[in-house]
Amino acid sequence: MKKGKKISGGKYKKSRKKRKHELRGYPRNVKLGERKTKKIRIRGGKTKLVLLSDNKINLIINGKAKKAKIKNVIETPSNRFLARQNIIVKSAIIETEFGKAKVTNRPSQEAQIQGVLLEKE
């Protein structure tokens, strides 16, 4: 039988709709470009600063932190189409002025991009 149907052909009905806290939020894709942030309201009335676009990364090079400029998004293991649109997500491989780096945080949740250097040029 088709999904959502009883063996007799009748429909299953949901007992209730989703509550506000059960609904999905809007996807926030962090693009490569000038820094742009936004304040959003979160549960409990608090606010969170989220990133919409940025072109700088906090890199860890030999145990020291340095700020580097992002040139390009090379590959994204979770979805190859995100790299084509220069969208930065966790575990994305990006090209910086120091070499290739891997993003180690979730930039859409935090208002910054962090990463570790993979190789030197």
Measure the CA angle with vertex 61, ends 57 and 64; round to 5°: 95
- What number does CATH give the domain 29-117? 3.10.290.70
pLDDT by residue (tens digit) across 45-60? 999 999 999 999 999 9
3-state secondary structure of 22: helix
Q: What is the pTM of this model?
A: 0.79
The ranges assigned to domains in the chain are 29-117
For residue range 78-101, what is the model confidence (pLDDT) as tens digits?
Answer: 999 999 999 999 999 999 999 999
Mean pLDDT across the chain, nearest whole number?
91
Pairwise CA distance, residues 9 & 74, whole Å: 51
Report residue 27 as tokens: 């996807």
